[in-house]
Amino acid sequence: MRIAFPTLEDLGLDATVHNHFGSAAYFVIVDSSDDSVTVRANPDQHHDHGQCQPLRALGDTRVDAVVVGGIGGGALRKLAAGGVTAYRAEAGSVAHNLALLKAAQLTAFTVQMTCGGHVQIGDHIGGCGHH
């Protein structure tokens, strides 16, 4: 299985899994069949809110799953249509979340768990269940 982990830094397995799929600077791709790791930049990082193109962001890299802290409903539906399951990450590194996924301890996202938007409330940006 090939798994994509959105991150802000190019640190491989040591990178922290990012809270938002579309705004991640990088994707750490792990192939669980041989534990190989590759990192690719997100070419769709600077899109308008709600216009994330997750399969384009992954480019020619085919994955079976995505592990991320949060994701919008549109991106979740587009991934599902492409045969990709999105799992909700726990706070921590790619390595930590990879171990949880392998142990079947991460929950697959549902539309009810997705981000509905980012609303500024005082000093806090809210609207997503993972904040």
Cα dist from 32 to 52, 57, 94, whole Å: 26, 21, 13
Is residue 124 included in any domain, yes or no? no
* CATH number, domain with residue 75: 3.30.420.130
Is residue 126 included in any domain, yes or no? no
The string of DSSP letters for 54-93 reads HHHHTTT---SEEEES--BHHHHHHHHHTT-EEEEPPSSB
Is residue 102 included in any domain, yes or no? yes
Is residue 125 included in any domain, yes or no? no
Nearest partner of 49 among 20, 69, 77, 80, judged by Cα: 20
Q: What are phi and psi of 130, to 5 degrees?
A: -95, 0
Is residue 20 included in any domain, yes or no? yes
Nearest partner of 61 among 89, 86, 36, 27, judged by Cα: 27
Q: What are phi and psi of 17, to 5 degrees?
A: -65, 130
State the residue for tokens 């938002």: 20
The domain in which residue 33 lies consists of 2-116
Is residue 128 included in any domain, yes or no? no
d(CA 72, CA 111): 8
Number of domains in the chain: 1
Question: For every one of its 131 residues, what pLDDT tens digit does the chain have, with 9 covering 90 and above?
Answer: 999 999 999 999 999 999 988 788 999 999 999 999 999 998 766 545 554 556 667 777 899 999 999 888 888 988 999 899 999 999 999 999 999 999 999 999 998 888 655 433 334 344 454 43
Answering whether pTM is above 0.95, one says no
